[in-house]
Amino acid sequence: MPSYESHAQLLAQAQTRFQGLISPQVLTALSERDTFKCKELLRIFTDTNRLDDFKRYYLKSRQVPLIRTWTDVKSSDTNQLGRAKAIVARLEAFYSVFVSALAKEYEWAHQLWGGDDGAFAANVSSLVQHALSSLEPSFSNLLQNLRAGLKPEDQLVSAIEEKKGVGEMLIDFL
pLDDT digits (tens, 9 = 90+) for 108-157: 888 888 765 677 778 888 888 888 888 877 777 777 766 666 555 455 45
What is the CATH topology of the domain spanning 4-173? 5 helical Cullin repeat like (1.20.1310)
Amino acid at 48: T
Can you tell me the distance from the alpha carbon of 84 to that of 102, in angstroms, rounded to the nearest whole number? 26
Q: How confident is the model at residue 14 (pLDDT cuts 50, 70, 90)?
A: confident
Q: How confident is the model at residue 83 (pLDDT cuts 50, 70, 90)?
A: low
Could you tell me if residue 75 is left (phi over 0), alpha (psi between -120 and 50 degrees) or otherwise beta? beta
Closest CA to 26 of 13, 39, 16, 17: 39
Closest CA to 54 of 73, 36, 29: 29
Cβ-contact 109, 123 below 8 angstroms: yes
Any idea where the domains of the chain sit in the sequence?
4-173
What's this model's pTM, rounded to 2 decimal places? 0.68
